[in-house]
Amino acid sequence: MKLHICMLLWPGCKPNMGVDPPIGISSYLTNFGHSVTWVIWAEEGHQVKSFYFNYVYVHTTPRVKYSPESSLVTKMLSFIPNTLRRMRITLKIFKEGKYNFIFVRGCAFDGLVAAYIRRRYRIPFAFVLSSPLEQDWETLKIEPQRPMFLYYLVAKFTKFIATRVLHEADLILPMSKWLKKHMVEQGIPESKIMSYPSGVDINSFSNRDGTSIRNKYYLEDSEIIIYVGTLGKPRGLAVLIQAFAKVKKERENVKLVMVGEGSDDENLRRLTTELGVRADVVFTGQVPQSEVPHFIAAADVGVSPVPPLSFYKLSSPIKMLEYMAMAKPVIANEEIPEHKEVLEQSGGGILVPFQEEAFANAIIELLDNPEKAQEMGQKGWEWVIKNRSYDKLARDVENAYYQVIQRRERNL
């Protein structure tokens, strides 16, 4: 059976569109002869636009700003009519298409639309869960927004909607086996859950050269430590900056490249100045996803510091796998189960506690032992090819979709 999948997705439409693993893996099914359609938010414009992107047919639904979105209230005043319009457009797109599966990523309210389509058209519905339902509120505790009570109500209401959607879904795809276990503990039937870990499109990370990156940032002869990811306050990246400052006391010709942006950017820059390493830390800001492999190719060591907060312990950090896909040795903290399992199975790096001293010592160890670092990089690459390529994970998802369709047909 050929799958015709309609995917309701939260990301906006931008040049050099980055595709995260939950979307990329299911979209990779086009390589197996299936068809995939995205319905995404547009960042601007008032009309629905349609186009092809990497063999996927894309519809954009307009996101109109009715007032300056300077507060939660004004954001909600724009969100409500935009969501209703998106619902109407989605139903029209679905009616005109011939889909036999619907997939939702990133929005509980899209999930409500999918649940309605599931009932009306009697087709199965998959919902991707990238984080525990309580993460929004837990994150707000770390990085408060005002008024907190209103944010609390929104977070609780969204969690309520998402919980209802999960019970309606035929297939739930959590981002790790640990998130799956958490969901079962929350009362979701295990029979309709399949863990959906992060993976890598190997073709995007093959034969990439970091020379242009080294030249652009004047890093030609430097040893490079790289971090790729969000620079948000919940990430606790002061640990990495402090670790790097310790490394600089031992190694003169080493640089830290921070690829990404976030709410803690300014504080991290200030910390590098206070520690005397500002000239040795490169903050690139946000870069197109297509350029990320070139940044990693330029590096000697990849670091994946993830603070051991309850919701991060359920995650599947993509940065670790991207470093491994470029045959770079990884340093990651052992409190994150995904870090621990992957690096123990692959031998692709060093596990350390989430402490500045531990990260610093591991960085120095790899820089002092290039042959060991190269061996770890090779082992990590081999493991990712075998276990976390899009090709492998997409086959797993394809089988899961077929099983859901067959089960639903038997029950009709």
Q: What is the pLDDT of residue 333?
A: 98
Q: What is the DSSP string of 13-73?
A: E-TT----HHHHHHHGGGGGT-EEEEEEEESS-SS-EEEEETTEEEEEEP---SS---SHH
Distance CA 138, CA 21 (A): 24
Comparing C-alpha atoms, which of 100, 296, 341, 114 is closest to residue 205? Answer: 296
Q: What is the pLDDT of residue 48?
A: 84
Distance CA 41, CA 49 (A): 10
Torsions phi, psi of 303, nearest 5? -120, 140
* Cα–Cα distance list, 210 to 205, 219, 252, 397 (Å): 12, 10, 21, 33
Segment 307-322, tens digit of pLDDT: 999 999 999 999 999 9
Q: What percent of the chain has pLDDT over 90?
A: 75
* CATH, domain range 4-199+390-411: 3.40.50.2000
Q: Which of 1-15, 97-111, 217-231, 312-326 is least confident?
A: 1-15
Structure tokens at 25: 């893996």
Q: Which of 4-18, 34-48, 342-356 has the highest mean predicted lDDT (pLDDT)?
A: 342-356
Q: What is the pLDDT of residue 30?
A: 97
Torsions phi, psi of 200, nearest 5? -135, 135
pLDDT-derived band at 250 (thresholds 50, 70, 90) equals very high
* Cα–Cα distance list, 17 to 14, 174, 231, 342 (Å): 5, 23, 20, 28
The answer to whether 32 and 5 have CB atoms below 8 angstroms apart is no
Q: What is the pLDDT of residue 45?
A: 65
The answer to whether 332 and 318 have CB atoms below 8 angstroms apart is no
Structure tokens at 315: 């995650």
At the topology level, CATH places domain 202-387 in Rossmann fold (3.40.50)
Residue 137 scores a pLDDT above 90? no
Orientation angle between helical segments 148-168 and 72-96, nearest 10 degrees: 20
For range 259-274, the mean pLDDT:
96
pTM of the model: 0.92
Where do the domains of the chain lie? 4-199+390-411, 202-387
For range 282-293, the mean pLDDT:
94
Segment 189-217, tens digit of pLDDT: 999 999 999 999 999 998 899 999 999 99
Mean pLDDT for the chain overall? 92
For range 240-267, the mean pLDDT:
96
Q: What is the pLDDT of residue 33?
A: 96
Q: What is the pLDDT of residue 15?
A: 47
Q: What is the pLDDT of residue 90?
A: 93
For range 251-256, the mean pLDDT:
95
Torsions phi, psi of 396, nearest 5? -60, -45
For range 101-113, the mean pLDDT:
92
* Cα–Cα distance list, 1 to 391, 398, 401, 403 (Å): 19, 11, 11, 12
Residue 73 scores a pLDDT above 60? yes
- Three-state SS at 355: coil
Q: What is the pLDDT of residue 411?
A: 77
For range 148-163, the mean pLDDT:
88
Return all residues near 4 (Cβ < 8 A) that are at least 6 apart. 34, 35, 37, 97, 98, 99, 100, 101
Residue 381 scores a pLDDT above 60? yes
Q: Which of 52-66, 211-225, 229-243, 371-385 is least confident?
A: 52-66
The per-type count for the chain, helices as H runs and strands as E runs, is: 15, 13
Is residue 98 classed exposed, middle or buried when 0-12, 13-18 and 19+ CB atoms within 10 A define those classes? exposed
DSSP label at residue 200: B
The answer to whether 404 and 125 have CB atoms below 8 angstroms apart is no
Q: What is the pLDDT of residue 214?
A: 96
Residue 34 scores a pLDDT above 80? yes
Distance CA 228, CA 303 (A): 8
* Cα–Cα distance list, 317 to 86, 151, 198, 229, 305 (Å): 31, 27, 7, 9, 10
Q: What is the DSSP string of 235-288?
A: G-THHHHHHHHHHHHH-SSEEEEEEB--TTHHHHHHHHHHTT-GGGEEEEE---
Torsions phi, psi of 354, nearest 5? -80, 70
Residue 351 scores a pLDDT above 90? yes
- Three-state SS at 339: helix
Segment 12-30, tens digit of pLDDT: 555 455 688 889 999 999 9
Of 35 and 1, the structure prediction assigns the larger pLDDT to 35
Q: What percent of the chain has pLDDT over 70?
A: 96
Q: What is the pLDDT of residue 46?
A: 66
Of 66 and 352, the structure prediction assigns the larger pLDDT to 352
Q: Hey, do 4-199+390-411 and 202-387 end up sharing a CATH topology, with the first three levels equal?
A: yes
